């Protein structure tokens, strides 16, 4: 039980500090779906902005607003490739984001 509360405290601190959440698979505009290496097929679905999106095998980040480009909007956050996030001026050393931090602290609305 002690470990569970430690985990919750760490997650809460990460959220308030704007920790970037990395995902093993990102989203891309496509209606073909995605089949993983084990042979499981994931079908595409409609994103928040009405376009069809599918999983891809590239690492991605949940971003509140990418600096440039057209990226899929899924569940209120953009699916941005890791390479784009690494070049973003809002990224802070240690894996944190200035935009995520200000949203978590209530300074800016999402």
Supply the pLDDT for residue 65: 85
Predicted TM-score (pTM) above 0.75:
yes
89-107 pLDDT, tens digit per residue, is 999 988 899 999 998 988 8
Give the pLDDT confidence of 11-65 residue by residue, as tens digits. 999 999 999 988 899 999 999 999 988 999 999 999 999 999 999 989 999 998 8
Tally of domains in the chain? 1
Q: How confident is the model at residue 73 (pLDDT cuts 50, 70, 90)?
A: very high
Helices (H) and strands (E) in the chain, counts: 3, 11
The rounded mean pLDDT for the chain is 90
- pLDDT at res. 32: 93
Encoded tokens for 30: 């496509």
Residue 63 domain flag? yes
Is residue 2 a part of any domain in this protein? no
Beta partners for 13?
Answer: none
Q: Which domain holds residue 99?
A: 17-104
Asked if residue 38 belongs to a domain, the reply is yes
- In the chain, the percentage of residues whose pLDDT exceeds 90 is 65
Ramachandran bin of 93, using left for φ above 0, alpha for ψ from -120 to 50, beta for the remaining angles: beta
Burial class (CB in 10 A: 0-12, 13-18, 19+), 14: middle
Residue 12 lies in a domain: no
* The token pair that represents 104 in the structure block: 């978590």
5 lies in a domain?
no
Q: With beta carbons less than 8 A apart as the criterion, state whether 47 and 53 touch.
A: yes
Q: Is residue 97 part of a domain?
A: yes
């Amino acid at each position: 039980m002690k470990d569970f509360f430690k985990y919750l405290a760490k997650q809460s601190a990460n959220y308030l500090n704007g920790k970037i959440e990395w995902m093993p698979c990102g989203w891309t505009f496509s209606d073909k779906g995605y089949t993983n290496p084990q042979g499981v097929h994931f079908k595409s679905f409609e994103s928040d902005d009405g376009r069809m999106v599918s999983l891809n095998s590239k690492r991605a980040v949940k971003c509140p607003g990418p600096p440039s480009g057209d990226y899929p909007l899924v569940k209120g956050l953009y699916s941005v490739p890791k390479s784009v996030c690494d070049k973003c001026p809002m990224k802070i050393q240690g894996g944190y984001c200035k935009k995520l931090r200000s949203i978590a602290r209530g300074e800016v609305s999402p």
